[in-house]
Amino acid sequence: MAVLTSTPELHAENYQFLQRHVYAETGIVLEEDKHYLFDCRLIPIVRKLGLATINDLCSLLQRTHAGEVSRQVVEAMTTNETYFFRDPGQYEAIKTILLPRLIKERADTKRLRFWSAASSTGQEAYSLAMLLIQAGLGDWDIQILGTDFSSQVVERARSGKYLQIEVNRGLPASLLVKFFRRADTDWQLSDAVRRMVTFDTIDLRKPMRVLGPFDLVFCRNVMIYFDLETKRKILEELHGTLFRGGWLFLGGVETAFGLDKWFERHCAGNSIAYIAR
């Protein structure tokens, strides 16, 4: 039986190869102390391919530029942690500050557009959709776009199906009862919510202005993985996707440097919204 390596045996040059590969494909910077991540995330791929070690996987990638394997490796290295109504203060600010303003401003068209950039398995986009229905906007023309680099998480988001453990995180019981039904041991989100959201695979480093204009963009808990130059470029592009006065929310612990040219930092309830200039 093949013996699988643990991280200490990953050759230094292969570690650097993987770091470079993931950076080139996603912009994600994996620091020197992230050996364990390669270990736990790549071993399943090594096993599936019938290889013995992560070093063998690196040789395969270098020899053949194996497109599908390369994609699997890169997607395995993305961190997809997310949950319903993450950073609840931001949803509260949308409900109590942004929506009342938009309802007045768009009374004629009744049209609103939102974007969950780096949407992972979809909880962020669907939380927003549920909030909008709860706010009485179910009959408005509302489009929510959810995008992510990883096609695997986009597929899951599209399905609208969640595990018990996922609906236990952040989702109020009243919304579980109202918007989900049991599907064996999982929970299926209702069509009324799903039809408000479309999902697509998009790399945030690509030009994005054509996607807009949006009233609100979530770009949360993804910038932390990028270097400063990548962050700066993405923030400039995000600005280009927003209506003037549109809101950008970053992750609760993320800060944005050098944003003053494009965004005004605004205390929205107990959250920080970046308002497009």
Ligand X SMILES: C[S@@+](CC[C@H](N)C(=O)[O-])C[C@H]1O[C@@H](n2cnc3c(N)ncnc32)[C@H](O)[C@@H]1O
Q: How far is the CB of 265 from ligand X (least distance, A)?
A: 19
Among 53, 150, 241, 271, binds ligand X (CB under 6 A): 150
Q: Least distance (Å) from ligand X to the CB of residue 50?
A: 27
> Given the complex with ligand X, which of 23 and 243 has the nearer CB atom?
23
Closest approach, Cβ 109 to ligand X, in A, equals: 28
Least separation in angstroms between CB 19 and ligand X: 15
Report whether the peptide linkage leading into residue 207 is cis, meaning its omega lies within 30 degrees of zero.
no
Q: Is 227 in the site for ligand X (CB under 6 A)?
A: no
- Of 6-14, 89-97, 149-157, 177-185: span binding ligand X (CB under 6 A): 149-157
Q: How many whole angstroms separate alpha carbon 125 and alpha carbon 104?
A: 23
**Touching ligand X, residues 44-103 (CB under 6 A):** 78-82, 86
User: Of 189-208, which residues contact ligand X (CB under 6 A)?
Assistant: 203-205
Residue nearest to ligand X (CB): 82
Q: Which is nearer to ligand X, 86 or 194 (CB)?
A: 86
Q: How far is the CB of 20 from ligand X (least distance, A)?
A: 15
3-state secondary structure the chain: CCCCCCHHHCCHHHHHHHHHHHHHHHCCCCCHHHHHHHHHHHHHHHHHCCCCCHHHHHHHHHHHCCHHHHHHHHHHCCCCCCCCCCCHHHHHHHHHHHHHHHHHHCCCCCEEEEEEECCCCCHHHHHHHHHHHHCCCCCCEEEEEEEECCHHHHHHHHHCEECHHHHCCCCCHHHHHHHEEEECCEEEECHHHHCCEEEEECCCCCCCHHHCCEEEEEECCCHHHCCHHHHHHHHHHHHHHEEEEEEEEECCCCCCCCCCCCEEEEEECCEEEEEEC
5 vs 84, which CB is nearer to ligand X?
84
Pairing of strands 180-183, 242-250: unpaired
Give least dist CB 78 to ligand X, A.
3
Q: Which stretch binds ligand X (CB under 6 A): 7-15, 105-113, 142-150, 168-176?
A: 142-150
Q: Which is nearer to ligand X, 54 or 77 (CB)?
A: 77
- Please say which residue, 161 or 233, places its beta carbon nearer to ligand X: 233
CB of 8 to ligand X, least distance (A): 27
- Provide the binding-site residues for ligand X, judged by CB under 6 A: 26-28, 78-82, 86, 118, 120, 124, 148-150, 153, 203-205, 220-222, 251
